[in-house]
Amino acid sequence: MHARLRELFGPTSRLLLDGLFLWGMTSGRVHLLSLVRARLRIAPFRWLVSVAGQTFLAAGFLSGIYLLALLPVRGTLALAGVSVVTSARSRPELVRVALDDHAPTELERAPSHRLRQHHGVSSRRGLRIVQIADPHLGPWQPVAKLRRTLERLLESDPDLVLVTGDLLTMEGRGSPGSLALALQPLEKFAGRSFACLGIHDHEALAEVRSALAAVGVRLLVDEEIRVETSAGPVQILGSDSVLRARASHLEGLFARHPRRTDHLRLLLLHDPSAFEHVPDGAADLTLSGHTHGGQIGLVSLGFDWTVLSRTRWPDHGFFARGRNRLDVHRGTGFYGFPLRIGVPGEDSVLDVDLRRRCGS
């Protein structure tokens, strides 16, 4: 790639290109070496080393694929640039969904109404939820940025704040206390903030537990809690993130915690591919993340398609199967390299229209 760029831009640009490649390779190596003692770093290190190095590695990864396919270098570089821009920004949205009586036999995408902003939201429509999914505290999601995101979302005064896992990266888990500092805006919502564990949370379980407890977020590990909201009583189940025997794991969770009469039942389930194991009628609405929206797709252009569209993973958005409903968050952040292309992160407020009678 380096040689082709030197040919493309000519002799006058060679010194600049050599410098940029040297910076990219050096910063990438320094960042990876720094993970031996992973922790959140100061802003100059984050921008000059972590962000620069990870961007270089991501661009090289994408370029390698397309160079092997003999696509033009210009297109490769443009694609790498699009991935960085898409990855760095999350889209504020107001999402309206309805729990209606439609009961498809197979999983299908269900209607939802998405507005490209949520600022100044005042009118209510059923139950209002702010979901925090996959923030991945790290070089691309520093403490200050996550705090600002939470503060904006919480201006909507949600009935519930629900965290569906994967709170840290390697850098984040190497900086004890940083997660609690980033989640501090949630302190005002103690008593209506709840969380389940994601896959990466098991890598730093003590830190995640400590941070959530410090800001008043109740962690539900195969547990339930009942909450009174302005939309009525809600029963929330939080599933642990497991990789094997997921069907029997969920079956045991529902058996230990049967439905509460006249309660809306929510399930926090990090990985949406396990939604297929939720028995019909066992949960009115399941909230998931994990997929980062599919990472690569056409969401930025207004289409639902992503590279996960025909896989076992429901990639993003609102789905129905039987009486069960699933909402898959595109992620508040991402882990490591900036590989989002056409699938921006999501900073959304979810309004749930409770058309179907709860617990019936």
Helices 14-34 and 2-9: crossing angle in degrees, nearest 10, is 150
pLDDT of residue 210: 97
What's the Cα-to-Cα distance from 154 to each of 177, 213, 292, 328, 330, rounded to whole Å? 22, 19, 22, 20, 18
pLDDT, tens digit, for every residue of 311-324?
888 999 999 999 99
The DSSP line for 205-237 is: HHHHHHHHHHTTPEE-SSEEEEEEETTEEEEEE
> Residue 310: what are its φ and ψ, rounded to 5°?
-110, 25
Which one, of 352, 103, 70, lies nearest residue 230 by Cα?
A: 352
The sign one gets for the Cα dihedral 109, 111, 117, 118 is negative
> Residue 223: what are its φ and ψ, rounded to 5°?
-130, 170
Range from 52-66, 100-114, 214-228 carrying the lowest mean pLDDT: 52-66
Reported as a pLDDT band with limits 50, 70 and 90, residue 360 is: very low
pLDDT, tens digit, for every residue of 136-190?
999 999 999 999 999 999 999 999 999 999 999 989 888 999 999 999 999 999 9
In the chain, what are the domain boundaries? 2-86, 91-353
Overall fold of domain 91-353: Purple Acid Phosphatase; chain A, domain 2 (3.60.21)
Model confidence at 55: pLDDT above 70: yes
Range from 114-118, 141-145, 200-204 carrying the lowest mean pLDDT: 114-118
Sorted by sequence, the CB contacts under 8 Å of residue 325 that are 6+ apart come out as 97, 99, 110, 284, 285, 286, 318, 319
**Residues 328-348: what's their mean pLDDT?**
91
Sorted by sequence, the CB contacts under 8 Å of residue 195 that are 6+ apart come out as 162, 163, 164, 165, 212, 217, 218, 219, 220, 238, 268
347 pairs with which residues across the strands? 92
How far apart are alpha carbons 208 and 128 in whole angstroms? 25
**Residues 68-95: what's their mean pLDDT?**
75
pTM of the model: 0.84
Model confidence at 126: pLDDT above 80: yes
Model confidence at 76: pLDDT above 90: no
